[in-house]
Structure 1
Amino acid sequence: MKSIVSKFLSESTTSLNKTEAINITKRENGKINLDKNALEKVLGNEKVAEYPVAIYSVAGPFRTGKSFLLNLFVRYFERRGTIESVPPPLDPNDEEPLTGPFKFKGGASEGCTEGIWITKEPFIISTKNKKTVALFLMDTQGAFDHKASIKESSILFALSLLLSSYQFFNLKTSIDSLHLQALGNFAEYAQNVRDTKSGFLFQKFMFLIRDWKMIEDHKHGLYGGKRYLNTVLDGDDGADENVKTNKFLKENFSELLCYLWPSPAPKIEGMGKTSKVCHMKDVGFEFLKKASEFFHYLCFENENKNLMVKREGAEELNCRKLYEFASHFADVINQGSIDTVESYFEESYNLKLCRN
């Protein structure tokens, strides 16, 4: 086993454009659910099955740049020399096309990602305390597009939330009450699937606010995001539904965070269906700077203490154990014994507003 692991570490995803992603969902009989066989190929791989696992998953409305951001994350990791080293910052003069395992296109009216995609092999991180962690990146189909019903969106987000150790919710320009209500309803559905009331149900959750322009109020980054999130969640003038959602989020996630992003660049925002692939040099300098700081914070800052390994209560899960948990969740969803949040949406707000 040791020789297999050593060989895997030497071949780990560290070179340009080597990373691949696989869809771990499938549609059968008009329903969407986890593809256990596909997930087993990822988490059941004997080369990493016993490693502590971290899954960083990005979800949120469609056309908000989730896949683009994840591809930048991949590029950042691919700049490493070894699994012990910290990647250098993203290079604004890099002339390589910004390709990656997660498909994306700018300026289009429809989402690109369908289902849930995860890196086929993990990025291996050797921490300062000599722990070897398998980190997977995961991309989730955008909510509120024309390809997925409310029922499908609730299932996809629930799977993303249940699998992830760090869940990111990607939004453009701000957090509004409609998105908060949607998030609360999605999380409540995931809570029912998980079926436990003990301790925090989920781990860390971070809002990613793209194209943040009100820097005179809150500066880009984590500190400005924390101050902005406090104004959103702790305000006195919210509607009753928002107060309920805010309370639910605070009680069920171990920590709520927010990161404020600048705009990537006019060239990136204006990419259309017929546009050529973008290049790293087309991405704005400030955006790349914040991206490098953000990725470093999540994985390497403070001697890897922010690296979020998947847990079940106090137990730290390895890849194999997470697969067993995920299989159980998939069975619960597939049996159809848990109501979806469709009725919540119909009662709480007009979906057309969320799609605009």
Structure 2
Amino acid sequence: FDRTMSTSSSDDERPERTTGPVPRQFIKINTKGDSFELVEEELQNVLDAVPEGMPISVVCVVGAFRTGKSFALDLFLRYLRHTDDPAKNVRTEDPPPDKAHEEWLMKDGGTLEGIAEHNKDNGECQQTLKHSGFSWRPGNIRNTTGMWIWSQPFIRHNPKAGAPGEPDEVAVLLVDTQGMFDMETTQMLTAAIFGLSTLVSSYLVYNVEKRIQEDNLQHLALFTEYGRVALQSFQDATSAGPPQPFQTLQFLVRDFQDFDDEDDVEKSVAEQEPYLSQVLDKEAAHKDLKEVRTHIGMCFENASVFMLPHPGSEVPKKRYSGDLSLVNSSFLALFHRLAVSIFGTNSPKPTPKEAQNELGAVVKKRMQNRYLMASELLSYVKNYVNVFHEAVQGEGVFPEAKTLLAATAEANNYNALEQGTKAYRAAMDKICGSKEAYVAPSKITEEHKRHLAACLKHYDRIASLGPKEKILEFRDKLEGNLKDMYDEYIENNKHKAPDMLRLLSILIMICSATYFLSSIINMFCWPPATIHFDFEYADVCTSTLHGMK
């Protein structure tokens, strides 16, 4: 896979609004549809917008092409934009379930953002400039290529705030992905997009049509093979039960036709879990099908399902322009519950009903039992992209999961090293940095030993993924870096000493010169003839000697 920038295909390029948030393409597909590249700057700019020290939640939507992924994401955007102020989300009573979506759906007007127009002359898909959203359009021509991330992180109240180790707020990042099996993209690239989405996300929405079919499960099992090898690695390293390598998987079933009554929101929601239990029932499946279900359960900490009815007969038509009044109210009412289940209500004081509905929402990205920060995510993405690049240079098959585990471990070790280096520099700069005065070398050595031990302890706590020799390799590198920095601090401190030495040497020179001059004068002086100062030579000579003393 290309890791350097290249000319993008026409359907990769979309007009941008001059102001306001927009989708940013951080994975681009080449014109042949057989390789991709990471646009590091685009991803970095989005991650830089996340407040420092705030955990992130990465919500990715994946699935077959032309199944409404981007359409759903633009509805998510509306919900997130209009519930972004926690103070305005506090309510004393719940609205009727079939009316809750009306609070946010139409606040930006009646046309859904992101609707794109297809230019018949050049084949380009262009997003309408008066709207801002993930690009989508009705019809059977593919629209989204590569991977896109919304440029604005959404700061959400953490439903678990107040619990030990839980932050008050989380930055939510939305990611749209190229649809699978579009007849223009190679199988390898399809696997790569799905695999990369699974590795990066904390909440993976797997968009499927009408029902969960066996081929959906088979593809999911293939793309999460990484999880099986990661799980095996944990089992080899520890005697305790290992955690699943991925976090939350949600099957989003579109155009579900088997609701008892799709207009009854509560009843339709209650039907969701039994349906998933039926699909994933290992006891009822044949041996080979049972293995697939067992594998999925071993790879994801949580699996859920949400079914949505058909949005209405007008929505799939080519002439559909995003008019939300044409969308079935039953679809919108259930979509509201879907949004709450993923993003929460963003209320610091939810009602009992809201608290129940947002259980499991705002899943924070976690790596080795700690929450991941935005500044760390780029390292992982770069490593994963490199893995897929190396795979296509070989036989062009889906890369071994073991190599993906190694990439994750390397990124994790690198982040631990970087954090240790930054912490050491920040601490030592306060003691003997360039702006500080001269410090006794023994004091610098003492502080170096103290902060070195603290940084290595921090590294040992974070760097716990992958082969032990690789962890020790990065640890040795960290220790070497900190010792080099210590040597620099000692050397720079020496340059501050000459100012004091110069002053001391000048004083010694003045004293020496004074002593020498007094000795010379004393050789040519004699006692005055009288005790009175009458300006005789002896009087002047004696006064000079007394002054020098």
Structure 2 length-normalised TM: 0.54
Deviation sequence 1:165-210 (CA, Å, 0-9, x none): 0001011111111111111111115766999545211000010111
Q: Does 1:296 align with 2:328?
A: no
Q: Give how far 1:304 is off.
A: 6.9
Alignment partner, residue 331 of structure 1: 386
Which of 202, 207, 222 matches 1:170?
A: 207
Q: Does 1:66 align with 2:69?
A: yes
Alignment partner, residue 135 of structure 2: 103
Alignment partner, residue 90 of structure 1: 101
Q: Does 1:307 align with 2:362?
A: yes
- Structure 1 distance, partners of 2:399, 2:134, is 28
User: In terms of mean alpha carbon deviation, does 192-201 or 55-64 score higher?
Assistant: 192-201
Deviation sequence 1:31-87 (CA, Å, 0-9, x none): 2243333221222x1553432000111101111111111100101122236255439
Structure of higher CA gyration radius:
2
Q: Does 1:53 align with 2:56?
A: yes
Q: Rate the CA distance shift 1:140–1:46 in 2: closer, same or farther, 3 A.
A: closer
Alignment partner, residue 229 of structure 1: 276
Q: Give how far 1:333 is off.
A: 1.9
- Structure 2 distance, partners of 1:19, 1:80, is 16
User: In terms of mean alpha carbon deviation, does 72-81 or 60-69 score higher?
Assistant: 72-81
1:8-27 paired onto structure 2 within 5 Å: 18-27=20-29
User: In terms of mean alpha carbon deviation, does 73-82 or 116-125 score higher?
Assistant: 73-82
Q: Secondary structure at the match of 1:268?
A: coil
- Structure 2 distance, partners of 1:119, 1:211, is 26
Which of 259, 263, 267 matches 2:314?
A: 267
User: In terms of mean alpha carbon deviation, does 221-230 or 308-317 score higher?
Assistant: 221-230
Amino acid in structure 1 at the alignment position of 2:379: E
Q: Is the 8 A contact 1:222 1:258 kept in 2?
A: no
Q: Secondary structure at the match of 1:316?
A: coil
- Structure 2 distance, partners of 1:151, 1:39, is 23
**Structure with the higher strand share, 1 or 2:** 1
Amino acid in structure 2 at the alignment position of 1:36: E
Alignment partner, residue 278 of structure 1: 322
Alignment partner, residue 320 of structure 1: 375
Q: Rate the CA distance shift 1:63–1:144 in 2: closer, same or farther, 3 A.
A: same
Which of 288, 303, 306 matches 1:241?
A: 288
User: In terms of mean alpha carbon deviation, does 303-312 or 92-101 score higher?
Assistant: 92-101
Q: Rate the CA distance shift 1:118–1:341 in 2: closer, same or farther, 3 A.
A: same
Q: Does 1:120 align with 2:124?
A: no
Q: Rate the CA distance shift 1:216–1:27 in 2: closer, same or farther, 3 A.
A: closer
Which of 194, 197, 200 matches 1:160?
A: 197
Say which structure, 1 or 2, has more relative contact order (CA 8 Å, 6+ apart): 1
Q: Give how far 1:286 is off.
A: 0.8
Alignment partner, residue 351 of structure 1: none
Q: Does 1:41 align with 2:10?
A: no
Amino acid in structure 1 at the alignment position of 2:134: F
Alignment partner, residue 186 of structure 1: 223
Amino acid in structure 2 at the alignment position of 1:139: D
Amino acid in structure 2 at the alignment position of 1:297: S
Which of 61, 77, 80 matches 1:77?
A: 80
Q: Does 1:340 align with 2:387?
A: no
Alignment partner, residue 177 of structure 2: 140
**Structure with the higher helix share, 1 or 2:** 2
| RMSD of Structure 2 on Structure 1 (CA) | 3.0
Q: Is the 8 A contact 1:24 1:35 kept in 2?
A: yes
User: In terms of mean alpha carbon deviation, does 68-77 or 219-228 score higher?
Assistant: 219-228
- Structure 1 distance, partners of 2:377, 2:87, is 25
Q: Give how far 1:237 is off.
A: 4.7
Q: Is the 8 A contact 1:205 1:255 kept in 2?
A: yes
Q: Secondary structure at the match of 1:63?
A: coil
Give unmatched runs, 5+ long, in structure 1: 1-16, 344-356
Q: Give how far 1:19 is off.
A: 3.5
- Structure 2 distance, partners of 1:325, 1:339, is 22
Q: Is the 8 A contact 1:55 1:164 kept in 2?
A: yes
Give unmatched runs, 5+ long, in structure 2: 1-18, 115-132, 162-166, 235-241, 345-353, 401-549
User: In terms of mean alpha carbon deviation, does 325-334 or 156-165 score higher?
Assistant: 325-334
Instruction: Report percent identity of matched pairs.
Output: 25
Q: Is the 8 A contact 2:192 2:398 kept in 1?
A: no
Q: Is the 8 A contact 2:272 2:305 kept in 1?
A: yes
Q: Is the 8 A contact 1:52 1:317 kept in 2?
A: yes
Q: Does 1:199 align with 2:203?
A: no
